[in-house]
């Protein structure tokens, strides 16, 4: 039997869903849960709880289990320097770590990945070990977007391509080829909540269902790390913002808790579309 | 004596400040106040109150006063179609107006300007009739930004140049070369409030004063129309977000209520810098 794939687990259900998908494909997962981020449910699988920065402890556990492949899944609150320096494993690498604090989340994750690669691990992405979590192409939840919605999707895709070099959250809400909101450090759910508030407060005067949430990974992003994700909470937020639907980049966006996500979109009357179709 | 410059007045003090600057230069203003947006103070000058879309009424008043030059100043809530069609002046142009409802605020304003140009008026911008309202270059309020802040300003300037073709509000908050927030339909004050909330909620973990608010006009924007503005409320919002300072594009950003703005920045310990210096 092959060695387990280790998954460093941030918040949400995706790490556990990936572990289940691995098991269905005949492999085992070893879940490294980040205290304060990962869900308790990881304990249903072989696991280890660590704090951010306990690099020495992680390395020892992975070597003891002959792990060769390492993945990162789920969201982690951006750490501050004191979180990253609790043990000697990190302290000896502090020079490298200090460099991470300029630039966006991408730079931070890439450097953490490089640190583990330097120790001989191969970093794997969801496309390799859990492809069933990714958005497919075309109509995911009906209806198929109409001409206006497709124009908004194309506009959003161009906008996200333009902001991509700046390492900001790759999401936007577009209505009638106008960007209503652009996502940065606040994250998708808060951006969608903002659209709901702007509509309720009268600053955005739109009639009925209007606007598409467009989401993609950053161009040139390391697709093994930190792919964007949507889930049932995204549907709830899009419904409150009275959007028409969600357009997510096929093969680039993870869908968490898919059966619940799909049912929620259908019940809310929101289309979900994997672009380009 | 030359004919007055007509100023279509949205909210805030800028229309009145422009009228005062015109008077100091020996000319008179005729203020066209948009009901629901313009301040009562416009009544200190020759004025006319109109609702959005009362184009016929405006045209008649301008012609009666031999007005040749027309300006637009202050913010207006984006109208919906029913606001734009109350009188025959607008109704005959409805075909043209319907086109405005795809695309951003820029497209809307440009089309309104074209409509008046078609009637023989010359559209003038603040650079021509009230240059004293624009941000100067270099240090406006001390201290001069340090090396890190200058790197953030340069990052923000590049980001705004990239989002510029998409006609979104040209503002961002940048810290350590990371975009914390990008402004779209919510406007500057709400974007700054978001940064304050993200910091208070622990989602953004920054120590002490951090981040620069960077503001510019859109590239290729018609600088006669809808230049961005900052004012005392911007300082209050930047202070709540615990920023280091404001970097506004020289010659592109209007400063409302300048004496109060400058005093508030000094008291809050925020630098104000006109870039490029």
HSE-CB at B177 with a 13 A cutoff on CA atoms is 17
Per-residue pLDDT band for A101 (boundaries 50, 70, 90) equals: very low
pLDDT of residue A1: 55
Strand partners for A219: none
Looking at beta carbons, which residues of chain A come within 8 Å of B162? 162-163, 165-166
Q: Rg (Cα) of chain B, in Å, rounded? A: 19
Per-residue pLDDT, averaged over A223-248, amounts to: 94
Contacts of residue B65, defined as CB under 8 A and 6 or more positions apart, other chains included, come to: B3, B4, B6, B30, B46
d(CA B230, CA B214): 11
Q: Which of B79, B183, B203 sits opposite A77 (nearest CB)?
A: B203
Q: What is the pTM of this model?
A: 0.85
Give the CA dihedral A234, A237, A241, A244, nearest 10 degrees.
Answer: 30
Lowest mean pLDDT among A84-88, B4-8, B228-232, B269-273: A84-88
Write out pLDDT tens, residues B23-50.
999 999 999 998 888 999 999 999 999 9
Q: How many CB pairs under 8 A join A and B?
A: 111
Say if CB A185 and CB B181 are below 8 A apart: yes
Say if CB A172 and CB B156 are below 8 A apart: no
Structure tokens at B201: 């909620």
A interface test, pick of B83, B174, B177, B182 with most A CB neighbours within 10 Å: B182
Q: What is the mean pLDDT of chain B?
A: 88
Most confident of A164-178, A200-214, A227-241, B212-226: A227-241
Strand partners for B261: none
Q: Which of A177, A183, A205 sits opposite B103 (nearest CB)?
A: A177
Positive or negative, the Cα torsion across A192, A198, A204, A208? Answer: positive
Looking at beta carbons, which residues of chain B come within 8 Å of A78? 204-205
* Number of residues in chain B: 277
b/e map A130-150, b = 16+ CB within 10 Å:
beebbbeeeebbeeebeeebb
Say if CB B135 and CB B274 are below 8 A apart: yes
pLDDT of B79 higher than 70: no
Nearest Cα neighbor of B154 from B24, B275, B59 is B275
pLDDT of residue A54: 82
Q: Rg (Cα) of chain A, in Å, rounded? A: 19
pLDDT of B135 higher than 90: yes
Q: Do residue A186 and residue B203 have CB atoms under 8 angstroms apart?
A: yes
Per-residue pLDDT, averaged over A220-232, amounts to: 84
pLDDT of A96 higher than 70: no
Nearest Cα of chain A lies from the Cα of B4 at a distance, in angstroms, of 33
pLDDT of B200 higher than 80: yes
Q: Do residue B180 and residue A185 have CB atoms under 8 angstroms apart?
A: yes
Residue B118's SS3 state is helix
* DSSP 8-state secondary structure symbol assigned to residue A203: S
Looking at beta carbons, which residues of chain A come within 8 Å of B182? 163, 168, 182-184
pLDDT of residue A98: 47
Looking at beta carbons, which residues of chain A come within 8 Å of B203? 77, 185-187
Structure tokens at B226: 């809808």
Structure tokens at A140: 């995911």
């Amino acid at each position: 039997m092959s060695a387990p794939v280790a998954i460093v687990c941030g918040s949400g259900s995706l790490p556990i869903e990936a572990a289940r998908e691995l098991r269905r494909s005949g492999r085992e997962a070893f879940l490294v849960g980040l205290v304060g981020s990962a869900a308790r449910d990881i304990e249903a699988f072989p696991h280890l709880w660590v704090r951010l920065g306990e690099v020495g402890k992680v390395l020892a556990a992975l070597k003891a289990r002959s792990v060769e492949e390492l993945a990162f899944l789920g969201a982690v609150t951006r750490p501050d320097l004191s979180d990253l320096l609790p043990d000697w494993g990190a302290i000896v690498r502090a020079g490298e770590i200090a460099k991470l604090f300029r630039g966006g989340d991408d730079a931070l994750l890439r450097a953490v990945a490089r640190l583990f690669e330097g120790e001989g691990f191969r970093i794997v992405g969801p496309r390799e070990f859990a492809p069933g979590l990714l958005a497919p192409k075309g109509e995911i939840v009906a209806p198929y977007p109409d001409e206006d919605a497709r124009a908004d999707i194309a506009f959003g895709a161009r906008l996200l391509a333009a902001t991509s070099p700046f390492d900001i959250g790759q999401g936007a809400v577009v209505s009638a080829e106008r960007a209503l909101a652009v996502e940065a450090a606040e994250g998708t759910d808060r951006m969608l909540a903002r659209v709901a508030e702007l509509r309720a407060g009268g600053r955005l005067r739109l009639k009925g269902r209007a606007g598409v949430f467009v989401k993609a990974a950053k161009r040139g992003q390391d697709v093994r790390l930190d792919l964007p994700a949507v889930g049932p909470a995204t549907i709830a937020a899009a419904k409150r913002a009275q959007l028409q639907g969600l357009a997510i980049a096929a093969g680039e966006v993870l869908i968490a808790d898919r059966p619940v996500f799909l049912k929620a979109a259908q019940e809310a009357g929101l289309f979900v579309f994997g672009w380009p179709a």
